Structure 1
Amino acid sequence: MIDYRKATVPVWTLATGDVRVPAIGGDEPMTAERLVELRGVLAGLADQPIATLELHPVPDALDRSRGIPLDAVSPLAQHLSQLITQSARNSSVAAKATAAGEGLYRMVVPAKVAAQFGQGIVRPMAGKGVAGGIHGPLVNSAGRIVAGAKFVPVGQAAAAGAVGGAGATAGAALTGSAVLTVAAPLVLMAIAVGVSANADSKRRQAIEHITELLEQLHEQKLDDEHSELDGCRDAIDKATAILLDQGKLGASLGLDSAVHAINTALGAADRRLARWQSALDKLPDGKAVEIDTLTKSFPGVDDEGGTFRAHLALAALAIALKRRVIVLQAVEHAQGEPDSLFENFARALKADQQRLDELESGIGGVLVQLSALELARPNGLRPVFTTGEVDRLMRAAHRIRRLGDGVSADSRMTDVAIEIARDRDGSVVVFPALPASA
């Protein structure tokens, strides 16, 4: 891992529209804590979304397979290259930092802006093999962004080109008093790809879990449901590639049929959630529940490979796929009206997120309620239990208590970070968007 404590980190302040804010940043080096404060103040004062973009060295052994690769001619890569070129002309700090051509760019979108995209769209992803670990190229062994680096603001001079539109030139300067750069297309594309990568990471996690569960269950109906959902991936991947290259979607991609399959799966998840909530409402308050009573409504809840857990995994897969589709639809909608590109993107994304957030929240509530249940010993004539019965009760209690472990109790939106690895040839890999506080 690179030692960032001695690093000088250039920081661009990116606006998504023509705004004026007081000159509160200055051009002096700042700490990471000061940068967080500045970002919050700018978000509060400006009437257009404002983000920051940091440039760090590329960490050793960076796992690029977690991200979405885009070649040098893609809009996102081009916008980033234009920003780099223009900055290098006017800032010795930017010129020195970008001279090698490669780097890890970290865009942070304030919580106020991120809230426009839905409360559940960006969640931490547990790192394998690390208790509570979070994926992220820039985290240290303690799981935090190293705060000892010296962050230096990068000023911007005027650049040729229009501001609006998905293909517009990033970097047109503002006449306001703060050091801001209008880069709506760059911010939009970074958010779109980062959120899509985040949803795809959740899809891969769900696929791995479902495959394992269905191998144990041998239930054809669930296997068919899984196959139909997994079959949507190809159409979504193709549509993602086309839109991120600023192309137009056509009927030949099969995206319409994929969306239908996903919506059907979400409908099934809604119905199952309603049955689960009804079953929990019927349980006596404050009384212990027998395992057999619980498994009638939640079959296999006491087992690692039960039907209930397969239903949970299928719902997670459908939600992840739908989130990717929503991003595609929002980008397409925004590109269709370039005069208010970012606003259209945010509006379309937020409107469609609500149902998914409610479904995810409802499932989380069921899991929390189940994890808090007290299990009763089976009723019977015998005064004692066999060793097998005792073992089953203990295993079931442990497994049911763990159901609530993965549920986020804090629904507050944090700043969102999107990390972009840029190679010397201008191509980029965009990693899953994550809470910046991770």
Structure 2
Amino acid sequence: MTDDRKAIVPVWMLATGDVRVPELAGDEPMTAERLAELRGVLAGLADEPIATLEAHPLPDRLDRGSGIALDAASPLAKHLTELITQSVRTSPAAAKAAAAGEGLYQLVVPAKVAAQFGQGMVRPMVAKGTADGIRSALVDSAGRIVGHGTFEPVGKAAAAGAVGGAGATAGVATAGGAALTVAAPLVLMALAVGVSAHADRRRQQAIDHITGLLEQLHEQKLEDEYSELDGCRDAIDKATALLLDQGKLGVSLGLDSAVHAINTALGAADRRLAQWRVALDKLPDDKPVEIGTLTKSFPGVDEQDGVFHAHLELAALAIALKRRVIVLQAVEHAQEDPDNLFAHFVRALKRDQQRLDELESGIAGVLVRLSALELARPQGRRPVFTTAEVDRLMRAAHRIHKLGDGVVTDSRATEVAIEIARDRDGSVVVFPARPA
């Protein structure tokens, strides 16, 4: 983390409605720790979600491949540009940050908003090359975190437009002695794009895993399932690009057929999960399990590229694709009800993703139960086993015990961070949402 404590980082308090909360802070600069405390208090006291937006210098090198690019005419880019334009008139810190025309903006939404998304919408994603690190775009070319300095609240932006609605511009709400910029469309669109990018990253991870598995298995039925799911990507990508530019979805995109294929795959995942649970319930609680008994219900569980692992990846792919569709549906619903933009968006997300959360947590529970099993020695008349048999048992035990590694079972909500790289021409790249 950088030791440059002299840097001034502008931070906006973004309300998603006209809120009134007790006096919490003035316009004085604050530390990162104080800002985190303020976020927690605002989340607990405010009737409407209140996010924070920080402006940092754009790192020299930034991997944009994981994000979703939007041009300067997109709603998100226009709302961000408008917020910056209004703020520079009254805030020297904002004016200095915006002078370069480019920057890296980090939006943090409170934990209770993340809870409304459901436990599975945003989860940690392990960075390559680290055991448990979470990749963040907010680093420079040397890998140091940028912009960790003194945070200066941006004062009142020029009030204009209504509080809500897809066409609303930034207004002002008063929270005691602090000014909150009302920017529901900006927060909504950033969440929509960030969550969509997160789901797409999970989709790509699942594809990377399943491609190698199917090359080894040569299972035509599984290949057909995968091909049908992967064929949905084009329709979802086009619908995402269209809707995030505030267009209207039509049947010509093929989204309806894509949703049908995804729902079919989710149905298969539900049936497999039910079968796995029944099989686990039949196993003795206090006795070791023979590997042969286990593989009857979980074929290939003891192999690196077995059928069981392919079933897991197919389920992960279907869940990731469905999460992108849910975000699209939520944005579409919100745009149809512009006077109730943010609340409508959150309600749509919360209602539709419950099934996915249950499926994902059910699969996680199966993996944890499998990883805790004790394997028995093979039954046979011979008192001594060959070296190959012993090696196979040890490899199987190791692979099965590792099934629980990386499984997320903690459903507590955390703050969600979304990073947005803004270029000089006003276009943006939104990176996958992640736990803050």
Pick the TM interval, shorter chain: over 0.9
Shift of residue 137, structure 1, vs aligned partner: 1.4
Instruction: Report the CA distance shift for 1:182/1:406 in structure 2 as closer, same or farther (over 3 A).
Output: same
Contact 1:2 1:60 in 2 (8 A): no
Q: Which position in structure 2 is the counterpart of 1:25?
A: 25
Contact 2:118 2:357 in 1 (8 A): yes
Q: Which position in structure 1 is the counterpart of 2:236?
A: 236
Aligned mates of 1:192, 1:393 — CA distance in 2? 47
Q: Which position in structure 2 is the counterpart of 1:136?
A: 136
Q: Which position in structure 2 is the counterpart of 1:88?
A: 88
Q: Which position in structure 2 is the counterpart of 1:295?
A: 295
Q: Which position in structure 2 is the counterpart of 1:332?
A: 332
String of CA shifts for 1:257-296, please: whole Å, max 9, x gaps: 0000000000000000000000000000111001110000
Contact 2:240 2:328 in 1 (8 A): yes
Q: Which structure 2 residues correspond to residues 187-336 of structure 1 after superposition, within 5 A?
A: 187-336=187-336
Partner-residue secondary structure (3-state), 1:20 = coil
Partner-residue secondary structure (3-state), 2:151 = strand
Shift of residue 364, structure 1, vs aligned partner: 0.1
In the alignment, structure 1 residue 399 sits paired with structure 2 residue 399: yes
String of CA shifts for 1:104-143, please: whole Å, max 9, x gaps: 0000001011111111100111111221121111259999
Corresponding pairs, count: 435
Aligned mates of 2:435, 2:142 — CA distance in 1? 16
Which stretches in structure 1 are left out of the alignment for 5+ residues?
A: none
String of CA shifts for 1:197-237, please: whole Å, max 9, x gaps: 00000000000001000000000000000000000000000
Of 144-153 and 231-240, deviating more is 144-153
Contact 1:102 1:421 in 2 (8 A): yes
Aligned mates of 1:147, 1:47 — CA distance in 2? 30
In the alignment, structure 1 residue 376 sits paired with structure 2 residue 381: no
Paired letter, 2:203: R
In the alignment, structure 1 residue 172 sits paired with structure 2 residue 184: no
Q: Which position in structure 1 is the counterpart of 2:422?
A: 422
In the alignment, structure 1 residue 76 sits paired with structure 2 residue 76: yes
Paired letter, 1:172: G
Partner-residue secondary structure (3-state), 1:90 = coil
Shift of residue 387, structure 1, vs aligned partner: 0.5
Aligned mates of 2:301, 2:86 — CA distance in 1? 58
Aligned mates of 1:122, 1:419 — CA distance in 2? 14
Contact 1:64 1:429 in 2 (8 A): yes
Q: Which position in structure 2 is the counterpart of 1:364?
A: 364
Aligned mates of 2:344, 2:142 — CA distance in 1? 38
Partner-residue secondary structure (3-state), 1:47 = coil
Q: Which position in structure 2 is the counterpart of 1:354?
A: 354
String of CA shifts for 1:141-185, please: whole Å, max 9, x gaps: 99996795111111123322233222321x211245331000000
Of 155-164 and 340-349, deviating more is 155-164
Contact 2:59 2:139 in 1 (8 A): no
TM-score by length of 2: 0.97
String of CA shifts for 1:340-394, please: whole Å, max 9, x gaps: 1100000000001110000000000000000000000100001111000010011
Q: Which position in structure 2 is the counterpart of 1:47?
A: 47
TM-score by length of 1: 0.96
String of CA shifts for 1:40-80, please: whole Å, max 9, x gaps: 11111110111000011122321001100000000000000
Paired letter, 1:286: D
Contact 1:118 1:350 in 2 (8 A): yes
Q: Which position in structure 1 is the counterpart of 2:126?
A: 126
String of CA shifts for 1:289-347, please: whole Å, max 9, x gaps: 01110000000000010000000000000000000000000000011001111000000
CA-atom RMSD in angstroms: 1.7
